[in-house]
Amino acid sequence: MPEQQSSERPLWQQIQPGGIGVNPGSTERVQTGDWRTEVPVIDFERCTHCMICWVDCPDASFEVANAKLIAVDLKHCKGCGICAQVCPVKCIEMVPDSAENRETTDVNSGNGASSESAR
């Protein structure tokens, strides 16, 4: 059976019997970040890495490594703002979504100010 390409609609030969999904977590390719009107900006100077934003994020958009918060996944963050509300030290601020504001949090660009201060 030809390998299923998750980036395109599959051919009928590639569809499993019963339409069974074969790529766990494949909705990752969907850019739900397009929905966003506000973007979270984290002040890493004040962040205590308590992980409450991580556990309360509906879109699993907080990137963690070794039990430390490192960045926000802006490809999937829908900008709901729950993180800013639940943060106990109020170090997350929701600002209007713009290219400039995105750069400070964007994990994909890899050179944002936020990801730098986390390193």
Partner 1 sequence: MTLKLRDLSLKPDLFGTGHGLCAGCAESVSVRQILSALENPPVVALATGCLEVSTTRFPDTTWKVPLIHSAFENSATTIGGVDAAYKALVRKGRMEDRPLTFVVFAGDGATYDIGFQWLSGALERGHKFVYICLNNEGYMNTGIQRSSATLLGAWTTTTPSGDARPGKPEWHKDMTKIIAAHNIPYVAQAAAHNWKDLMTKVRKAEQADGPAFINVLTPCDRGWRFEPEKTMEVSQLMVEAGLWPLYEVVDGKYKMTGARQKKRPVMDALLSQKRFSHITKNADDATIAAIQAKVDEEWDALQALCEMSAAE
Asked if residue 83 lies in contact with residue 64, where contact means CB atoms within 8 angstroms, the answer is no
Helix (H) or strand (E) holding 117, with range, is helix 113-118
Listed ranges 24-32, 101-109, 110-118: which one lies at the site for partner 1 (CB under 8 A): 24-32
CB 100, min distance to partner 1, A: 22
CB 93, min distance to partner 1, A: 12
DSSP state of 52: H
Kindly state whether residue 48 participates in binding partner 1, applying the rule CB under 8 A. no
Helix (H) or strand (E) holding 92, with range, is strand 92-96
- In one letter, which amino acid is 25? G
Give the C-alpha separation, 51 to 78, whole Å.
Answer: 19
CB 99, min distance to partner 1, A: 20
Within 10 angstroms of residue 93's Cβ, the number of other Cβ atoms is: 16
Identify residues 67-106 at the interface with partner 1 (CB under 8 A): 67, 73, 75-76, 78-82, 84-86, 94
In the complex, the residues that contact partner 1 under the rule CB under 8 A are 4, 6, 9-10, 15, 19, 21, 23-32, 35-36, 49-52, 54-61, 64, 66-67, 73, 75-76, 78-82, 84-86, 94
